[in-house]
Amino acid sequence: MSHAHHAHGGHAHDHRNADQSKLKTALALIVVFMAAEIAAGVIASSLALLSDAAHMLTDAAALALALLASRLASRPAAGSMTYGLGRAEILSAQANGVTLLVLALLIVFEAIRRLVSPPAVQGSVVLAVALVGIAVNLLAARILAPGHEGERSLNIEGSYRHILTDLFGFVATAIAAAVILTTAFRRADAIASLVVAALMLHAAYGLLRASARVFMEAAPAGLDPQAIGRQLASQPGVVQVHDLHVWEVTSGFPALSAHVVARAGDDCHELRRRLQTFLGESFHIDHTTLQVDHEVAAQPPLQIEIAPREQHHLDSRA
């Protein structure tokens, strides 16, 4: 018997509405500050500021993409999209990872060039903008940070990592500006850019790895299919569990399918209901498809009786 159990839609919808509100607020903050930072970077001739501004541009694009993906994911399943457009959020997270990777490599190239031939940098302008940037990104990071329950989509995680690397980047830029003002060491600006690039590469790796796991239908982080299978097999009335699959449709939407062999004579409907309740309570997997069949009852050994006349005939031939 095959049965699918669903309990996901309303909870996900509430989370996505909250996510969209956070994304809108963070996007407005980033766009306003980015425009001011570009102007300051040009005036101060600071690669650290311009690289931060470029990163802010990708932040704005990432937030806009994340907002669009969240709205697409909110649409109900229809037609051939039987799971809806939930994985639009994973595509958004992957795009965020790619942009971080490309931008970091461009910054590394330019920083190396400036290490060889460092330009004059107006440290006071850089320091002032970096301090304001720290404040703006702290506020944006606070908006996008996970709540007390710690649950959020990979889409929001991608945007959050963009903001967080910007925050660390501004801290590095402020330190570089202070070094330039106190020691006139102009290469500090390029060194700060390399620090920012390293942070971006680390964030890009995390996003690309996490989104790739979803697309490759790996088990969600923290769920061990072997452990789940062993616990299912240990439940009363279960003889065997096989063809077990655990994957993630989109962030926060784990799914499971399995073939369960029930003890002969047991109520397979009741067993299925118990297993679904167990999976929901123990592993927070509410989307399950369980095929439950009874074990084949042992058959008595086959006996052949020979009639007396046939027996005599066989004996005489012998």
pLDDT at 316 over 70: no
Residue with the larger pLDDT of the pair 10 and 211: 211
> How much is the pLDDT for 252?
75
> Is 299 inside a domain boundary?
no
**Closest alpha carbon to 189 in 148, 230, 129:** 129
232 and 209 within one domain = no
User: Residues 46-60: pLDDT tens digits?
Assistant: 776 776 677 677 778
> If you compute the radius of gyration of the chain from its CA atoms, what whole number of angstroms results?
30
Using CB atoms within 10 Å of the CB of residue 189, give its burial: 0 to 12 exposed, 13 to 18 middle, 19+ buried. Answer: buried
Of the ranges 41-50, 135-144, 293-302, the best mean pLDDT one: 135-144
* pLDDT class of 1 with cuts at 50, 70, 90: low
> Is 309 inside a domain boundary?
no
Please count the structural domains in the chain: 2
> Is 194 inside a domain boundary?
yes
Round to the nearest angstrom and report the end-to-end CA distance of the chain.
53
> How much is the pLDDT for 318?
46
Q: Which of 130-134, 155-159, 197-201, 214-218 has the lowest mean pLDDT?
A: 155-159
Domain that residue 203 falls in: 8-215
- Residue finishing a domain among 187, 215, 243: 215
The CATH number given to whatever domain includes residue 77 is 1.20.1510.10
Of the ranges 82-91, 143-152, 295-304, the best mean pLDDT one: 82-91
Residue with the larger pLDDT of the pair 143 and 285: 285
**Closest alpha carbon to 98 in 202, 194, 208:** 208
Residue with the larger pLDDT of the pair 31 and 309: 31
CB-based contacts of 175: which residues, under 8 Å, 6+ apart? 188, 192
pLDDT at 11 over 70: no
> Is 271 inside a domain boundary?
yes
pLDDT at 281 over 90: yes
Q: What is the mean pLDDT of the chain?
A: 79
pTM for this model (two decimals): 0.69
Tokens representing 198 are 């390293």
Residue with the larger pLDDT of the pair 232 and 93: 232
> Is 311 inside a domain boundary?
no
How far apart (Å, rounded) are the C-alpha atoms in residues 152 and 205? 19
> Is 310 inside a domain boundary?
no
71 and 25 within one domain = yes
> Is 1 inside a domain boundary?
no
233 and 188 within one domain = no
239 and 147 within one domain = no
> Is 35 inside a domain boundary?
yes
